[in-house]
Amino acid sequence: MRVELIQHTPDPEKVVAAAARLCYSADPVSDLLEQLDDDRVASFVRKLQEMGHLSPFEHVSFQFSIDGVSRALSHQLVRHRIASYSQRSQRYVAEKGFKYVIPPSVKRNPEALERFEMVMARLQEDYQELLNFVPAEDARYVLPNACTTSLMASFNVRSLLNFFEHRTCIRAQWEIRFLAEKMLELVREVAPNLFCEAGPTCITRGVCHQGTYSCGRLKTLEGKKEAT
């Protein structure tokens, strides 16, 4: 998995703070931007988070390059609908000798790994043979979810916070959780105040919405608080 932050809105935290101040000021945005120093920006961002006033966060966007992830992951990723995606097409790009993602549980089991790799090898051969008879757009029907893909994804900050809330949870599927953790690491380097409270709700709000499926981390965190 390779994840890069391609670009983002310049001065993202200042943009959010200016958008928030605009709601209560007669001054134009250009003047508001000049009036904001780092301390005031950080203060505004924290106040917005505490109030749950997140609409100003929507003015800032981040674009990511995502490579070497499975189609199984991309099917989950695009469910986050307040975002924009471009993905390598299996219709126009032939997947000859396609690469694939091996789940950790398969890697840990020699018998499972052998069977998994046999299936992948057979599918590669079958796909290659089908290309001799039908267009790639039809041959792709035999390609597995494990087949790797490349994407470009653009999120605004509010949508990213929602993404991190759901996908950094331990209950999230392992591959998209790894992706979310990498993305969160990247955006925190650029805008630490915007994402200081990003993550699963057990950590950020002290609540868990998984019910009987809870991983138990919230109880562990509560136990640590009581011990201190």
Residues with catalytic roles: 167
Provide the 10 A C-beta neighbour count for residue 195.
Answer: 24
Question: Residue 212, Cα to own-chain centre: how many angstroms?
Answer: 25
Give the SS3 label for residue 194.
Answer: helix
Closest among 183, 2, 174 to 104, alpha carbons compared: 174
Q: What is the CA radius of gyration of the chain?
A: 22
Structure tokens at 5: 């932050």
d(CA 120, CA 97): 10
